[in-house]
């Protein structure tokens, strides 16, 4: 009898799809449109910052859904992780890449917020920017890089997810569990 975990798989996959797709669209579409429409660097920063600020809560929900789904999948597949050859290493890789994607996402948001404050016409934002001065050109360069790192890492997660799907095929499970058993018991 097979168990279905449609909800946690959906949270995992839809969350990852939104995280990957939103970051890629933002890096290409939003930033490109801001450059096309901004008359000055400050105007470009304002346009891009406004778009990214609107995306942030949706992105946070997508990441949360993905992480919740990931935890659920790990819980329901714990036996495979332990007993099937190759699954623990792909799970570890997925965990490391997820951590790196989270760090890159957070770093991009911090840089984006600093640029947003520095380019804002609001006097309160200008005051906050003066309290925490930044090298704006350096922050822009770092943000441009970070915003490309996020879709690269989440794209890697999509590929690792495909690998996990392949590892769940019955023939892969049987041979993987046999290989694991042989590796821990030299007498088989």
DSSP string, 32-84: HHHHHH-SSHHHHHHHHHHHHHHHHHHHHHHHHHHHHHHHHHHHHTHHHHHHS
**Side-chain half-sphere of 164: how many Cα atoms within 13 Å?**
24
**Is 84 within the bounds of a domain?**
yes
What is the domain extent for residue 45? 7-179
Sign of the torsion formed by the C-alpha atoms of 69, 72, 76 and 78: positive
State pLDDT tens for residues 116-151.
Answer: 988 888 877 777 777 777 888 999 999 999 999 999
**Is 52 within the bounds of a domain?**
yes
Collapsed DSSP state (helix, strand, coil) of residue 5: coil
> If pLDDT is split at 50, 70 and 90, which confidence band does 1 have?
very low
Q: Is the pLDDT of residue 29 over 90?
A: yes
The reported pLDDT for the residue numbered 154 is 98
> Both tokens of residue 125?
């934002």
Q: Is the pLDDT of residue 168 over 80?
A: no
Write down the mean pLDDT value for the chain.
88
**Is 1 within the bounds of a domain?**
no
Q: Who wins on pLDDT, 122 or 73? A: 73
**Is 188 within the bounds of a domain?**
no
Domain tally, the chain: 1
**Is 18 within the bounds of a domain?**
yes
C-beta neighbour count of 3 within 10 angstroms: 5
CB 44 within 8 A of CB 38: yes
pTM across the whole model = 0.84
The reported pLDDT for the residue numbered 123 is 78
Tell me how far apart the alpha carbons of residues 170 and 2 are, in angstroms, rounded to a whole number.
12
**Is 44 within the bounds of a domain?**
yes
**Is 42 within the bounds of a domain?**
yes
**Is 184 within the bounds of a domain?**
no
């Amino acid at each position: 009898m097979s168990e279905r975990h449609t909800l946690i798989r959906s949270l995992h996959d839809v969350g990852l799809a939104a995280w990957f797709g939103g970051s890629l669209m933002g890096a290409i579409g939003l930033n490109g449109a801001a450059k096309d429409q901004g008359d000055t660097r400050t105007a470009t920063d304002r346009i891009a910052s406004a778009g990214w600020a609107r995306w942030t809560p949706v992105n946070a929900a997508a990441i949360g859904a993905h992480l919740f789904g990931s935890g659920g999948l790990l819980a329901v597949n714990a036996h495979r992780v332990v007993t099937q050859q190759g699954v623990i290493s792909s799970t570890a890789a997925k965990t490391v890449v997820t951590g790196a994607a989270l760090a890159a996402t957070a770093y991009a948001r911090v840089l984006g917020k600093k640029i947003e404050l520095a380019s804002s016409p609001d006097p309160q934002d200008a005051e906050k920017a003066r309290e925490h001065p930044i090298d704006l050109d350096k922050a822009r360069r770092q943000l441009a890089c970070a915003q490309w790192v996020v879709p690269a890492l989440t794209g890697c997660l999509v590929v690792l997810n495909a690998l996990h799907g392949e590892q769940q095929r019955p023939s892969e499970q049987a041979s993987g569990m046999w290989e694991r058993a042989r590796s821990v018991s030299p007498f088989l």
